[in-house]
Amino acid sequence: MEKNGIIELDGMEFRAFHGCLDSEKENGNTFTVDFRGMTDMSKAASDDRLEDTADYGILYRIIAGEMDKRSDLLEHVAGRIVKAIEKGMPEFRSFSVRVSKKNPPVGGQCSWSRITMYGGPESQGKDII
């Protein structure tokens, strides 16, 4: 019997150089990435074996690798992360990736700018429960 469950990696923090402005590209900024993905957990739930679940370390390395590549837009960063996870971790049926940028240069006080993108064969562009 299939037992779907949610795996989350929340608050992954990176110093990165994403942005359209020269100052963002030169000075960098603090970014966070949150991941939430649905996968079948039935084998891991019954066998208690690491090889029967998604490897959190691989997931983190995929995300970190994409955060290390410069982009002008958060949408582009998230799009690359989604594609890389779909390719490298097909066990996720649906997932969301949220990329947040601290103190974005919007001409006034703003703590964070955020975008969320969805991936996986069953995502249908909507959040997972």
**pTM of the shown model:** 0.92
**Could you give the CA distance from residue 85 to residue 17 in angstroms, rounded to a whole number?**
21
DSSP-based three-state secondary structure for 21: coil
| One-character DSSP codes across 60-84 | HHHHHHHHTS--S-HHHHHHHHHHH
pLDDT tens-place string over residues 48-76: 998 899 999 999 999 999 999 999 999 99
Tell me if 104 sits within 8 A of 113, measured CB to CB. yes
Over the stretch 74-127, which tens digit does the pLDDT of each residue have?
999 999 999 999 999 999 999 999 999 999 999 999 999 999 999 998 887 666
Judge contact between 74 and 113, C-beta under 8 A: yes
Q: Which domains does the chain have, with CATH numbers?
A: 4-119 (3.30.1130.10)
Query: Which of 26, 27, 25, 56 is CA-nearest to residue 39?
Result: 56
Name the residue with tokens 């590549």: 69
